[in-house]
Each structure stands twice: as structure tokens, then as C-alpha cells.
Amino acid sequence: MTKVHILTRCEHCQGQAYLPVGEAQDYQGNTYTRFAPCSSCDGTGKSGKWVELSEFARLLAQAQCKHEHTSFQGGMHFSAGDMWDDLQEVCDDCGANLDKQTLGDTIDDPDDIS
Ligand SMILES: [Zn+2]
Ligand SMILES: [Zn+2]
């Protein structure tokens, strides 16, 4: 079975690198969410992964797609006075998440041991 090693988004933290570890209170008594580096990827948001050749071919197709038809998914969120969005641009043709890194960025250099 042929497999290809790629560097991809950390599954554990979904590439966020930092994860909420609980709630704490600031000196004014306001509750806020504490974050800590993801334990799976040490706060890098990336992890190495072996994928099947067929999966690699799908990624390759996404890399070659011109992404002419795209739509946005996600929305705005409010929490504890903070506002953020998780809007993501997704290609209608190949299904690629255009906010994610492309295949050219995900191919792992075998000489890079770090
Ligand atoms: Zn992670
Ligand atoms: Zn596409």
C-alpha cells in the first residue's frame, strides 16, 4: 500500500494551535476563557500524517483546481464580550477549504527531521 506523508492541520485542535482549558476570572470578576497550547501539536496547529495515495490524489486535484466557484460557510459568534467568525471559503468544484493551506504547503520535506 503506497502512502504519502503530508503535514496537515492538527486534528485535535483543528489547526487552532491553542485550545480553551477552562474558565477563569479577571480582577474585575469577569469570566473569561483560558487557552493553552494544544498538547497534540505543541501549539503549532500542524501534524504529520500518512495518507493513502487516493487521498493524496484528491488533495492534488484540489491543488490543481482553479476554484472558480466558491461559497462561504460558517458565521459570526459572540461569547463573553468577544466576537469572532469562523467563515471559511469552500470551493464548490473540488470541496477544498480555501482558508486552509494548499497541497504545496502540506507536502512534508523528508529531509526535515524537526
Ligand atoms: Zn493541535
Ligand atoms: Zn476547487
Tens-digit pLDDT profile for residues 4-56: 898 888 989 988 999 999 999 999 999 999 999 999 999 999 998 898 999 88
Cα of 14 to ligand 2 centre, how many Å? 21
The whole-angstrom separation of Cα 114 and Cα 111 is 9
- pTM score above 0.85: no
Nearest to 99 by CA among 58, 60, 70: 70
Q: Which ligand is nearest to the CA of 89?
A: 2
Q: Which of 110, 114, 73, 103 is nearest to 8 (CA)?
A: 103
**Residues in Cβ contact with 53 at an 8 Å cutoff, skipping those fewer than 6 apart:** 2, 3, 4
Locus of grid cell 497541497: 103
Which sequence spans correspond to the domains of the chain? Answer: 3-106
In this structure, which ligand is nearest to the CA of 92?
A: 2
